[in-house]
A = this chain, B = another copy of it.
Amino acid sequence: LARVYNFGAGPSMLPEPVLERAREELLDWRGTGISMLETNHRGADFRELAQVSEAKLRRLLSIPEPYRVLFLHGPARIHYSAVPLNLLRGRTRADYADTGIWSDGAIKEGRRYCEVNVVASSRPEHYTRIPPFAQWRLDPQAAYLHITPNETIGGVEFHDWPDTGEVPLVGDFSSTILSRPVDVERFGLIYSGAQKNMGIAGLSVVIVREDLLGAADPRTPSMLDYAHQVAERSLAATAPTFAWYLADLMLDWVEAQGGVAAMAERNRRKAEKLYRFIDGSNYYANPVEPASRSWMNVPFTLAEPAEDERFLAEARAAGLAGLKGHRFVGGMRASLYNAMPEAGVDALVAFMGDFMERRP
């Protein structure tokens, strides 16, 4: 089996033990003679998985008691709509920070439901930094402040949180959940897709402070009404059983790695190794302000863009896949989610050095 290092931005690489376990159990889950794929979401086995996986996520992220946890269908992007529908609570204005393409998507969708106040934007700087919090124009009457803690396309990441006072902070953690500890109490609501650090496409997770619930817009689709899903324990309809199961396996794996603090230590090392190489290379470049650089997604360019295609082809032949940059920014992008081993980064750095040396 020629497994490769997959640097794709998502759906992303999964740890081999998780894949192996999924394969082993695929035809017969827990000795039931029934495949995980066929398992009833209301049966005792699945209900136990649901309970246990929530407990694992609570343990890993130290989620305090007044927060509820939902495991819902995807995509994460549906929460661009569900957040205003649930959290406006009769207010007409919400704050949004604009730090990249994903923030911008959330803002555009938010405008369907309320008056959006963009508190800060790094668009004029081509999304190469998180604007300093001191410059943010926060609205004390905002229903919430929405941020995107990590932008997969620009490769910028928050390494601290703004102080929002009484205004609930909402974060789209799709590309950063479980990659490092997070002080959940700083947030009113956290949502995330699963397909980067928590499994496969088809599942989204919501962590929400209970007192914010119960005042959803009456036209909110029931499936997106968080209070309703809390009451139904995420089972208001057939759950995305297999994606949920995969998330459970991923949570086990993160625990076995030492938890999110250990993941953070490893992720910081992986990212620093790659940034250090890029910065010292005189051939590769990353445009992001160092203090805002992402641990998860490292975009970089070659000094000779004409070499991009050869770089990608030779990298792929060397077992390094998914390096093509997003069409909005071009160049390359290496995504270093939890499942990317340090050996993958070492292999990438070695290849990049070699490619640079060998250039005509």
Contacts and interface: CB of A to CB of B under 8 A. Distances in A.
B321 A75 contact: no
A352 to B, nearest CB: 20
A274 B163 CA distance: 65
Interface in A216-230: 218-219, 221-224
B33 A3 contact: yes
Chain A binding surface SS class: loop
A105 to B, nearest CB: 9
B14 A38 contact: yes
A78 interface: yes
Interface in A191-226: 193, 195, 200-203, 218-219, 221-224
B75 A237 contact: yes
B74 A240 contact: yes
A138 interface: no
A11 B238 contact: yes
A249 to B, nearest CB: 11
A269 interface: no
A184 interface: no
Contacts of A22: 26, 37
A355 interface: no
A81 interface: yes
Contacts of A319: 33
Contacts of A13: 38
A147 interface: no
Nearest to A27: B19
A241 B201 contact: yes
A240 B237 contact: no
A8 interface: yes
B3 A201 contact: no
A41 interface: yes
A34 interface: yes
Interface in A56-95: 73-78, 80-82, 85
A253 interface: no
Interface string A1-37: 1111010111111100001101100111000111101
A274 B193 CA distance: 43
Interface-central residue, A41, A85, A202, by most chain B CB under 10 Å: A202
A221 B222 CA distance: 13
B23 A242 contact: no
A243 B243 CA distance: 9
A116 interface: no
Given A23-B27, A73-B78, A78-B221, A238 B38 contact: no
A76 to B, nearest CB: 7
Nearest to A241: B201
A269 to B, nearest CB: 23
A154 B195 CA distance: 37
Closest A-B pairs by Cβ, 10 of them: A81-B221, A75-B237, A202-B240, A4-B33, A77-B237, A202-B202, A78-B223, A23-B26, A2-B33, A73-B74
Interface of A: 1-4, 6, 8-14, 19-20, 22-23, 26-28, 32-35, 37-41, 43, 73-78, 80-82, 85, 109, 112-113, 193, 195, 200-203, 218-219, 221-224, 236-243, 246, 319, 321-322
